[in-house]
Amino acid sequence: MNKLYFNFSVLIASILLVFMIGCKNNSSSPTAPSSSTPSTTTISMAGNTFSPSSLTVAVHTTITWNNNSSTAHTATSDVGKWDTGNIPAGSSKQTTFDSTGTYHYHCTYHSYMVGVITVQ
């Protein structure tokens, strides 16, 4: 009888131990959503300016370049990373930024139209 009681006690203690380990209170905070979640934002071309001309975005962000002016524009990387090509008045194109870095850009037609995108 003592052996049976001992075995039963060991079994109950083992079950409680497994339960306590599995239900361990984790005091860490919940994790924030990943910064690599794709998102979108817009840069407007109005007159002969980019708006905003300086922008910080997360990796995998897609930028929509909206040409809201009456003349064609481009959004062209200063170092050849991307080029939207011609964006006629009233049109738009998109570029996705998959790598961190600072990207300076300009309009090929209007060299004084400049901007910078920082990808974190």
Sketch out the chain's domains with CATH numbers: 39-119 (2.60.40.420)
Residue 10 pLDDT exceeds 60? no
Exposed / middle / buried, residue 73 (Cβ in 10 Å: 0-12, 13-18, 19+) = buried
pLDDT at 2 over 50: yes
Measured over the CA atoms of residue 109, residue 112, residue 113 and residue 116, the dihedral's sign is: positive
Question: What is the pTM for the complete model shown?
Answer: 0.68
pLDDT digits (tens, 9 = 90+) for 20-56: 455 444 443 333 444 456 799 999 999 899 999 999 9
Cα angle at 3 between 17 and 18, to 5 degrees?
10
Measured CA to CA, the distance from residue 74 to residue 93 in angstroms comes to 9
The residue with greater pLDDT, 94 or 29, is 94
User: Half-sphere exposure of residue 104, counting CA atoms within 13 Å on the CB side?
Assistant: 6
